[in-house]
Amino acid sequence: MPLSKEDLEKYIKENIPDSIITIEDLRGDGDHYSATVISKSFEGKSKIEQHKMVYDSLKGRMGNELHALMLKTKTE
């Protein structure tokens, strides 16, 4: 079952409450998204650590309910 943009944003917000999130459904299928996540909690962390924070917030949905996520993270 595909993951809605709203659910994707909800899962990220639960783990990174101060985040500002922009999500685009790349194919209109609820399975391929592009997301930009901006959070002060990313400060001092490498891009890999930042992306891991976002992927961890999905709690195993990546590769199951969500096939592809093109991710961009920023501190501000």
Single-letter amino acid code for the residue at 13: K
Residue-wise pLDDT tens digits, 20-55: 999 999 988 888 899 999 999 999 999 999 999 999
Domain containing residue 67: CATH number: 3.30.300.90
Task: Please give the Cα distance from 31 to 24 (Å, whole number).
Answer: 11
Range of the domain at 35: 5-74
pTM for the model: 0.90
- The count of other CB atoms within 10 Å of the CB of residue 37 is 24
Single-letter amino acid code for the residue at 40: K
Strand 20-25 relative to strand 32-38: parallel, antiparallel, unpaired? antiparallel
Q: What's the structural domain count of the chain?
A: 1
